[in-house]
Homo-oligomer: A and B are copies of this chain.
Amino acid sequence: MSDFETDRRHANVQVAALFDALLQVPDGPENRLVEAMRYTTLSDGKGFRPYLCYASAQLFNVDEAHAIRAAAAVEAVHCYSLVHDDLPSMDDDDMRRGKPSLHVAFDEATAILAGDALLTLAFDILSDEATHKEAGKRIDLMAALARAAGMRGMVGGQMIDLQSPQLALDAGGLTRLQKMKTGALIGFAVEAGAILGAADEAERHALTGYAHDIGLAFQIADDVLDVDAASSDLGKTAGKDAEDGKVTFASLLGQERARDQAGLLVEQAIAHLSIFGASADSLRQAAEFVINRQN
């Protein structure tokens, strides 16, 4: 296995163990909520964002338990966003990670509440001393997460995305949308490692550039896969964007140019990592994974 595959598996096994411990099912009628939170956090996703957090923390020899807690916070926010985005009034998607979406497996109300509770859990995790003994580091993590996930980041991006069939976005508009909707949280995943590791200015700058480029490449690759792949490979409904009348990088640029663009971004992302030498090999492989994955 490559460094990337080893790290990805290692990080996600530990994140799952943490969710399992945090989400012990209570003995009361609120158990339905916790079951729903387990359904989504313990499902079989790519675990790309937790990996990024873990691998970026590794560059600075961050205590592994700290990195895993930050990675779990990232994953909790990612899961919440998927659960809410899949709702009938949003993207109305019945399938996610190869199984029924949460609102299908449970119901809409439970899905809304489970998303709410996962977002809250992310801040709960970060606020705990177990994440870092210095309050200042925990505050930096929480402030950065609130920025990335909030109205000027992920949620704002989803608001634009929902309106996109009416917006006739050009490549610039679509890039801005994706920077908010997916880029901001990918950026936070990498930034969290830098915060925990007390990275210097140049290191932070390199990691921010890396995250920006792979974030956009990730989305372009998603758009290309959405056209190419079968639903069974994706684990979610394929061809959904075109059906919904949404502009995508594939529809704007065509499949081939979109693929080229993603490839260029990955090269650029890797170039940012030069200051870290061989210790960033895992992140380099992760960048390649972004465009070579099948789902």
Contact = CB atoms under 8 A, between A and B. Distances in A.
A109 to B, nearest CB: 5
Interface stretch (A58-66, A82-90, A93-101, A242-250): A82-90
A70 interface: no
Contact of A115 (B87, B116, B136, B146): B116
Contact of A33 (B110, B135, B147, B155): B155
Interface of A: 26, 28-30, 32-34, 37, 80, 84, 87, 89-90, 107-110, 112-113, 115-117, 119-121, 123-124, 127-128, 135-136, 138-139, 142-143, 145-147, 149-152, 155-160, 162-163, 167, 176, 180
Given A30-B160, A139-B138, A159-B30, A124 B147 contact: yes
Contact of A112 (B30, B89, B135, B138): B89
A109 B163 CA distance: 10
B155 A113 contact: yes
Nearest to A124: B146
A151 B23 CA distance: 9
Given A119-B119, A120-B149, A29 B142 contact: no
Given A136-B135, A142-B127, A151-B37, A89 B107 contact: yes
8 contacts: A29-B167, A30-B152, A30-B156, A33-B159, A109-B162, A116-B155, A123-B145, A127-B143
B90 A109 contact: yes
Q: How many copies make up the complex?
A: 2
Contact of A146 (B34, B84, B120, B155): B120
Given A113-B159, A139-B127, A151 B119 contact: no
Contacts of A163: 29, 32
Interface of A is mostly: helix
A90 B89 CA distance: 13
B127 A33 contact: no
B32 A117 contact: no
Contacts of A119: 116, 119-120
B109 A89 contact: yes
Nearest to A34: B151
A236 B25 CA distance: 34
A229 to B, nearest CB: 26
B29 A120 contact: no
